[in-house]
Chains A and B, each alone.
Chain A
Amino acid sequence: MSLLRRVLDTLYTAAGVLAACCLIAILSLIVIQMLARWTGEVFPGAPAYVAYFMAAASFLAFAHALNRGSHIRVSILLNAVGPRVRWVIETWCFAIGTAIGWYFVYYANRFVYWSWKFGDISQEQDKTLLWIPQSVMLAGGVILAIALTDNLIHLLLTGKHRIIRDTVDMQAE
């Protein structure tokens, strides 16, 4: 069990770090693209590549953000009720989340499969085979669904979920 625990935690963190690398890639692509423009060169398809990395950065970080409590939720009700009711509501939330997560994965898989089957190509200058960036989205979706399931099972077995909210992490608003 503890091995599985370690593997999962590593998976979430690794995906998060990979997402961070995507941000660095976005930054580099934009800088190269600007440098190219100023020197009169062209870097065809740069906006499209930035867009793919943007999607990758978001999807790969979803699970990591979930475990750190970054995803916003309305917590008025959760804070108002006692521990017993709270557990029921938390279970409901994770159950809904898990269902939506796997529903997304199921259709994302089909989406990528058909994209690969037909060899869909980007309409922009980059001419990328779309299944390549799209499968990163699928991977991120799978990891998020696993993280939601992981939390749900944990909640059912031990009465607690595994989300630890970081107080420094309140930059969003």
Chain B
Amino acid sequence: MEDVSIIILFLFVLFLLLGTGVWVGLALIGVAWVGMELFTTRPVGDVMLTTIWSASSSWTLAALPLFIWMGEILYRTRLSEDMFRGLAPWMARLPGGLVHTNIVGCTVFAAVSGSSAATLTTVGKMSIPELRKRNYPENMIIGTLAGAATLGLMIPPSLTLIVYGVTINESISKLFFAGILPGLVLASMFMAYVAISSFVSRQWNPDAEPAMTISEKIQNSRFLIPVILLITVVIGSMYLGFATATEAAAFGVIGGLILAASQGSLTWKTFSESLMGATRTSAMIALILAGAAFLSLSMGFTGLPRGLADLIAQMELTRFELLMVLLVFYIILGCFLDGISSVVLTMAVVEPMVREAGIDLIWFGIFIVVVVEMAQITPPIGFNLFVLQGMTNHEMSYIAKAAIPMFLIMVLMVFVLIAFPELATWLPDNIRSRPGG
């Protein structure tokens, strides 16, 4: 950190390019170029190419388009209707009633899709009108949906975790397993909140559900069995060390195709739409990753990561204090950047810091995912808020307000994670992993 003014110039360029709306991937390349020109005498262009080529041609990265494709296929099936019809009979008797279908539905769909927007639309398409029909309080319907949809980022397959794993070179399978228990705990916390507010809230007087016999219930949820089976195959194959994350993703695509075909919703149109959608989304993330690889090389030359890590070490922050600083930092960053961009943008700087503090990087992956999840439901650019706005025609401020309790529950989740790190580390320590996962 000899030359503070050059560092400031470098950071200025970073904020300028990102802030004016240059596409994130290209902006990262631009910033990295400036950094290299300022801090080294090496031939920048040639270094850039070597870095981008090795970052883009990666076997591990191939899990990304495949998992996106699997989600895209299932998104275009009848899953939305089946999910509500199948889950509703089982949730009706719980305190909080059918609002739980939002949360359980999101949890199930999160297990086949790595995206929270897709989770939100799939579950909400059916549950919003149905719950309204039954006079559930509107703010509960919207709030729980916004919050629970973020589970898509945590429960495997998770795009954010793939990106994190590729960026810091950790096993994707391990990260996936680290996400399972915290995801389920977070879902139960949401459900507990729903149950409690159903007792406390005065607006809570939904219509009662007609009673159903056990066989009727099973009849109604038989369509969910194939999805559950698919989840079991994808996650199970990784757990037993049968397949790497990339291979499990291939199982997922094939399973998804079979499932769609058996429902009769696999047409040329849905097939090509899902494939092209996956191609575009995966290209978008690949561009960010290519830029990020070059940027993290360039960051290394600026000495910024080392300097900050030393600074943190000098300040003798405890682990807890460091995590609190990072928590606030990522919440603020999340107001301006989407989750994937904020992860790749910061890892070059944050990774040495976190390693220095002796924090487990698998655990930290889950921490960072919970934190960027929060950003999905905070204005001004909370992505789930936009999606919900499109689906319900409510004001943004109304939706954001309805989501505040969920935001607080996620903050609580961060502290639960810090208090019980085993939630994230126990499963990954106990899988039989294949080399190259």
Contact = CB atoms under 8 A, between A and B. Distances in A.
Interface in A3-31: 16-17, 19-20, 23-24, 26-27, 30-31
Contacts of B287: 58, 62, 65, 71
Contact of B45 (A47, A51, A110): A110
A27 B153 CA distance: 23
Contacts, number: 211
A74 B253 contact: no
Interface residues of A, number: 63
Interface in A29-58: 30-31, 33-34, 47-48, 50-55, 57-58
Interface stretch (B191-199, B224-232, B315-323, B375-383): B375-383
Contact of A96 (B22, B45, B275, B436): B22
B30 A96 contact: yes
Contacts of B117: 170-173
A170 B387 contact: yes
| Interface size classification for chain B | 35 or more
Contact of B277 (A47, A57, A110, A171): A171
Interface string B240-276: 0001001101100110000000000000000010011
Nearest to A13: B276
A58 B283 contact: yes
A103 B34 CA distance: 13
A74 B24 contact: yes
A56 B235 CA distance: 28
Interface stretch (B81-89, B136-144, B338-346, B393-401): B338-346
A142 B83 CA distance: 45
Summarize A's interface: helix, strand, loop or mixed.
helix
Contact of B23 (A64, A68, A73, A107): A73
Interface stretch (B61-69, B214-222, B406-414): B61-69
B23 A76 contact: no
Contacts of B41: none
A169 B281 contact: yes
Contact of B20 (A33, A34, A71, A77): A77
A23 B275 contact: yes
* Central interface residue in A19, A50, A72, A173, by most chain B CB within 10 Å: A173
13 contacts: A23-B279, A26-B65, A51-B62, A55-B53, A57-B65, A57-B282, A71-B23, A73-B22, A74-B18, A74-B24, A104-B48, A111-B46, A171-B281
